């Protein structure tokens, strides 16, 4: 799996998380309305029978709540699957980070740009979230940001080695999180 694929998955995950938040807030509102129902039901039913209209609010609210709960389950399943894909992708020994092979000397260190001037803001953001860090990620001396990776090492060979070591640490840390998550599921 490469970083571009993880960017797509991270983008989908962010969208689905937003949708899940919207469903949660709407469900919270409906639950609040549902709790208020008994207080209003008696007066409202009398009023509606007086004016000759059938009282439906309780049934509609119940249907809306059931639909929201069903939607929440579906979206939560999608979110969980996307998170699993991200964790597996970042913990995979097959992860491909498309960097230009020759770093650019910058100050005392070396700067690696992604090939074709690509940027991976969502993948890096979700990786930071997985690791409990903020963007840019600081792994030992290596700084990983959405559009570049910086190593303070002045020798290009040693800078490449530092980048490899940083991604090995990321892979191992995410793999440990994956193993921990599997244990809690069973």
5-23 pLDDT tens trace: 999 999 999 999 999 999 9
Q: What is the pLDDT of residue 70?
A: 94
Please state, rounded to an integer, the average pLDDT across all residues of the chain.
Answer: 85
Q: What is the structure's pLDDT at 106?
A: 85
Burial of 107 (0-12, 13-18, 19+ CB in 10 A): exposed
| C-alpha dist (Å) from residue 76 to 15, 56, 73, 82, 164 | 12, 30, 5, 10, 34
Domain boundaries, the chain: 3-91, 104-185
Query: Phi and psi dihedrals of 106, rounded to 5?
Result: -135, 110
Assign 96 to helix, strand or coil.
strand
Q: Give the predicted TM-score (pTM) of the model.
A: 0.74
Q: Which residue has the tokens 């409990």?
A: 132
Taking phi over 0 as left and psi of -120 to 50 as alpha, with beta for the rest, 132 belongs to left
| Residues of the chain where predicted confidence (pLDDT) is lower than 50 | 183-186
pLDDT of residue 183: 45
* Nearest residue to 126 (alpha-carbon basis) of 91, 86, 88: 86
| Confidence (pLDDT) at 71 | 94
The pLDDT value given to residue 62: 81
């Amino acid at each position: 799996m490469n970083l571009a694929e993880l960017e797509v998955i991270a983008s989908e995950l962010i969208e689905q998380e937003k949708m899940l938040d919207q469903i949660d807030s709407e469900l919270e509102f409906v639950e609040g309305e549902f709790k208020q129902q008994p207080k209003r039901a008696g007066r409202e039913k009398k009023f509606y029978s007086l004016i000759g209209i059938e009282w439906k609010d309780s049934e509609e609210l119940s249907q809306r709540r059931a639909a929201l709960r069903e939607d929440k389950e579906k979206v939560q399943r999608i979110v969980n699957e996307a998170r699993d894909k991200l964790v597996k992708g970042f913990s995979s020994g097959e992860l491909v980070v498309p960097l230009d092979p020759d770093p650019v000397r910058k100050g005392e260190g070396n700067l690696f740009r992604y090939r074709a001037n690509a940027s991976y803001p969502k993948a890096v953001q979700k990786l930071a979230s997985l690791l409990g860090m903020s963007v840019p990620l600081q792994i030992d001396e290596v700084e990983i940001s959405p559009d570049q990776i910086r190593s303070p090492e002045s020798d290009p060979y040693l800078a490449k080695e530092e980048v490899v070591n940083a991604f090995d640490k990321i892979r191992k840390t995410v793999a440990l999180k994956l193993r921990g998550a599997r244990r809690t599921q069973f």
